[in-house]
Amino acid sequence: MLRDVALRLRPAGWPLPPAAARRRTLAIAWLVIAAQLVFVGGWALGGALEPHYSQIRQFISELGREGAADPWVFATFMAVWGLAWIALAIAVAPSLRTRRWPLAMPLALALAGVCAILVGPLRMDCSPILSAACRSREAAGADSWHYEAHIWLSLAIKVALLASGFAFARSAWPSQLGRLVLGGALVLLVAGVVTFFLHHSFHGYKGLEERLWAFVAVAWAVVCATVLILEATLTPDRLQAHESPIQGRGPAEPAAVGIDPA
């Protein structure tokens, strides 16, 4: 079932990578999925180890702030997550080599990965959710340079991952898959702009808001990895059997099911 859907969405003429590349891609894709479990499990574990920590109220990054109980947990799962995005970029690149903007999506994914890795050691000074003094310092611009770097890198992760969606849509255009990804990216762009301007309206639920966006990123990673798995396990015979009727259809032949050419 999933294979049939993937074949219908697959851009016509998209080349199948060599067997060796498909085996490597398959291994990377499964590691990327495993890394998402480490990411989500990491913030759950870190929250359980942190006294009085609220997954609803507090940011994920607060698990690694100065004075946190176990900041190494945050640094570890962010590093694993970042390496997963870089690995995904490496796995995606061969499939896009003959498409438009072949390096755009891999570079965006790699950028997100590098930023995620750097976020761990560049720790927050304090908790802006729990500490009024921390919020005052933040408002006055008195934060440390690594706090500011942490904030900007966290934003860069979101921007880079969103850009990877637009880049893939361009590479896959004008296929159904390209249109589907473009539609999803536009919805997320609008949602991101709205939540940015309404950020202060989520007082008391900022941790939940951040985790919802984190789950969107996780879903994007899983979708990309799943597509790579389907590609890696697709045989040339199956692909030829799928594309032969499409290639053999003449320009005047009706493509819709149920239309009688007579």
Question: How many structural domains is the chain composed of?
Answer: 1
Residue 61 inside a domain? The answer is yes
Domain-located, residue 225: yes
Residue 241 pLDDT: 72
Q: Show the domain range for 84.
A: 16-235
CB 105, CB 168: distance < 8 Å: yes
pLDDT at 246: 53
What pLDDT shows up at residue 196? 76
Rounded Cα distance, 134 and 129, in Å: 8
pLDDT digits (tens, 9 = 90+) for 37-56: 999 999 999 999 999 889 89
- Mean pLDDT per 10-residue run, the chain (262 residues)? 72 74 90 96 92 89 88 94 96 86 93 95 81 76 83 93 93 85 90 78 79 92 90 75 59 38 37
- Residue 53: which of 38, 37, 74 has the closest Cα? 74
Is 24 part of any domain?
yes
Q: What is the pTM of this model?
A: 0.84
pLDDT for the residue numbered 136: 79
Position 253 in a domain: no
Q: Is 62 within the bounds of a domain?
A: yes
Assess contact for 111 and 156: CB atoms under 8 A: yes
User: Does residue 5 sit within a domain?
Assistant: no
Q: pLDDT tens across 152-189, in order?
A: 999 999 999 999 999 999 988 888 888 888 899 999 89
Write down the residue that tokens 């929250």 correspond to. Answer: 47
